[in-house]
Amino acid sequence: MTKVDTRCPYCALQCGIRMGTTESGDVTLEPRDFPTNRGGLCQKGWTAAELLRTPDRITTPLVRDDRGDLVAATWEEAYSRIVAAVRSAQAAAGPDAVAVFGGGGLTNEKAYTVGKFARVALGTSRIDYNGRFCMSSAAAAGNRAFGLDRGLPFPLTDLAGAGAVLLVGSNLSETMPPSVQHLSGVRSRGGLIVVDPRRTATAALTESGGGIHLQPVPGTDIAVLLGLLHLVVVGGQTDDDYLAARATGWEAVRDAATVWWPERVERVSGVPVDELRGAANLLAAASPSGGGSGAYVLTGRGAEQHAHGTDTVTAAINLALALGLPGRAGSGYGCITGQGNGQGGREHGQKADQLPGYRSITDPAARRHVAGVWGVPEDSIPGPGLPAVQLLDAIGRPGGPRVLFVHGANPVVSAPDSDRVREKLAQLDLLVVADFVPSETVRLADVVLPVPQWAEEDGTMTSLDGRVLRRRRVIQPPGGVRDELRIWRELAQLLDAPVTFASDPSDVLQELALASSGGVADYAGVDQARLDTGEELYWPCPEPAHPGTPRLFLDRFATADGRARMIVVDVAPVDDDVRPDAPIYLITGRVLQHYQSGAQTRRVTELMRGEPRPFVQLHPVLAARLGIEEGDSVRVTSTRGSACGAARLSGDIRRDTVFMPFHFPGAGAANAVTNPATDPVSGMPEFKVCAVSVSREVVS
């Protein structure tokens, strides 16, 4: 048996696995010891190899025929259809008539190349990706506070020594189960604080050892954070020496927090005063200035996926800075990255406003540098495009995209107001989707390009704490499949691109290293040879001899003066708040068995046995008021659409709130209900809260 060390295909933990192939062609998978998973895997990781054998694997290009059916075609036929549509659209309406929608699961090499393909081969500014739905609010807040965005600016393993961890809007026990072991120390010390409207599996961890679960009204996390800051200020528990030396804007932030006394926070958020005080005291006692062993403030999607998510994360950062946590060994602020390459995927050019190395596309120096690496004139690189929600909404409008490429994403399920997204995609002249299974977006495509799965490709990924890691090919893809790097190279040639595109991952990584050199996310010292020795390289890694940077900000922040920026923020109402005709909050999220849009996990037998269909979690008191019993079909309706699921009664959720997982399509699609209103800074849509009516569905 041949064995290969590689990575789990799912979340940003990038757990270490060892895969084997037998003489008969069977594929085996087992965990291996790696810092993030320490020899463990979740259900999704254990069953990942089953997806390699899925019977509906796409192994040949497909094109839509005159009858409207997707039929097998040659690569030449697929390319011909694409090239003709691109040229026609751009001749009629200019370069931005073609758009690209990427994904946070693409390798670093593919994320880099799709950004280059959009701007060089297509000449379009219209590129963004599904990471806009994931970490964009935390990224925006981190960039404006610290001058740099890395999900965790310290190794995940550092959490083990903490005296307190404040976890705002993240359900690690279900979304990243192997990560929970890193919280065992803080749990044993009674210092875990979880902020979530539901008593999730993660919130339940606070019940052993004296932790605290704060259960606010959906959309009021910022009030809770401002209240915690208020208590730290009035308690004289701020780290004044640290603030004087390492931050600006503190006085204004401190003054703004004075109006968020605990009783006011309780009225707004529903969090009892004594619980808020207890949380503030735990954090302060564990912080360096309090003589503790260290404290961390961590945010997740529950805090970030709001129309004011950037301000909520900023409030979390202000709290962390007031306690003197960022840039201190054993303490810090961080964001829990979700997608497998959510970190690397946003660093090298998929975002509408970025160039490789996390450079701004409007920065003249950045444009000159990247143009030199690409071998194109600086003025040929387009300016900033549209963030994901606006990009999709522009379809069918004057000047909007007529051709759309989708790589590594399933927006028909994952985007907010998904019924409208489906309608928008139907207005395109041509929809091109690269995938390996017939996702819901694939089924709408005019051209489908079959690409490799995770175990059939080579490249690098970047974990949630900034480690650049090797993904290794274990098996060869089916004969009719082509790697995206090859596809972009061949399409670029057919579109008469001014430069040649590399298609070997090691060559692309070398080019990425050059393009990112000197940028915020500097990979200049990263290459496959170093990674293949087992060396752990955290970016920034600016030269071949550099050891990498596991812990950021120890000496200075990445701002011009080296000091963190504290910014005043305030509570803002939910964009789609409850009212008489929609008196209940809907919140959405993930469950243990499924991942993202479910296109992969819904094809794994064991995972579907565990969670086979959509459900609506609601409190028994709410259910009784609405005449709903366990297992009833329940309809959840907003002004945008409705979704159905089986009633799941639970005392673990607030009485004014229902929860639905977002992994399912069709009648159970939670994102048919969610709100596309976006954060003005980050472009993040407000997935996590909207007003709905809830009723028992009468099944005839």
pLDDT tens digits, one per residue of 368-423: 999 999 999 999 999 999 999 999 999 999 999 999 999 999 999 999 999 999 99
Q: What is the mean pLDDT of residues 48-64?
A: 96
In the beta sheet, which residues pair with residue 27? Answer: 21
pLDDT surpassing 70 at residue 700: no
In this predicted model, what pLDDT tens digit does every residue of 533-561 receive, in sequence order?
887 899 999 999 999 999 999 999 999 99
What's the mean pLDDT in 626-635?
A: 98
pLDDT at 1 over 80: no
End-to-end CA distance of the chain: 55
Q: pTM, whole model, 2 decimals? A: 0.97
Backbone angles phi, psi at 529, to 5 degrees: -60, -45
Q: What is the mean pLDDT of the chain?
A: 96
Give the mean model confidence (pLDDT) for residues 243-248.
98
At 337, list the tokens. Answer: 């990255």
- Residue 471 φ/ψ, nearest 5 degrees: -105, 125
Question: Mean per-residue pLDDT for 134-146?
Answer: 95
The whole-number pLDDT of residue 134 equals 87
Q: Residues 676, 678, 684, 687: is their CA dihedral positive or negative?
A: negative
What is the mean pLDDT of the segment spanning 183-212?
95
CATH value of 584-696 in 1.10.1040.10, 2.20.25.90, 2.30.30.220, 2.40.40.20: 2.40.40.20
In the chain, what are the domain boundaries?
A: 62-134+341-538, 137-336, 584-696
User: Roughly what angle, to the nearest 10 degrees, separates helices 505-516 and 364-374?
Assistant: 150
pLDDT at residue 159 in the model: 97
Across the range 321-341, mean pLDDT stands at 95
Query: Is 90 exceeded by the pLDDT of residue 243?
Result: yes
Burial grade of 532 (CB within 10 A; 0-12, 13-18, 19 or more)? exposed
Q: Closest by alpha carbon to 171, among 341, 275, 298, 35?
A: 298
Phi, psi of 693 (to 5 degrees): -105, 150
Where does the pLDDT of residue 210 fall: very low under 50, low under 70, confident under 90, or very high at 90 and above?
A: confident
| Residue showing tokens 């000091």 | 563
Give the separation between CA 684 and CA 136, rounded to whole angstroms: 6
Single-letter amino acid code for the residue at 255: D
Name the H helices within 538-681.
Answer: 605-610, 620-626
DSSP conformation class of 241: H
Side chain identity at residue 403, one-letter code = V
- For 416-442, letters b (16+ CB in 10 Å) and e give bbbbbbbebbeebbbbbbbbbbbbbbb
Residue of higher predicted confidence among 345 and 535: 345
Query: Which of 132, 134, 62, 161 lies closest to 432, judged by CA?
Result: 62
Q: Which CATH class is domain 137-336?
A: alpha beta
Using the structure block, give the residue that is written with the tokens 């995209």: 401
Longest dimension (CA), the chain: 73
Structure tokens at 221: 């996390």
Q: How many CB atoms lie within 10 A of CB 404?
A: 26
Classify the phi-psi angles of 319: left when phi > 0, otherwise alpha if psi is within -120 to 50, otherwise beta.
alpha
Q: Which residues contact 162 (CB under 8 A, 6 or more apart)?
A: 185, 186, 191, 286, 293, 294, 295, 296, 330, 331
Q: Which CATH number describes the domain made up of 62-134+341-538?
A: 3.40.50.740
Residue type, 466: G
Closest CA to 239 of 228, 250, 249, 223: 250
pLDDT-based confidence at residue 208 (cuts at 50, 70, 90): confident
**Predicted pLDDT of residue 43:** 96
At residue 337 the predicted structure's pLDDT band, cuts being 50, 70 and 90, is confident
Residues 6+ apart with CB under 8 A from 464: 12, 13, 14, 36, 151, 152, 156, 336, 337, 342, 343
Tell me the H-state helices in 192-289.
Answer: 221-234, 240-246, 250-257, 262-269, 273-286
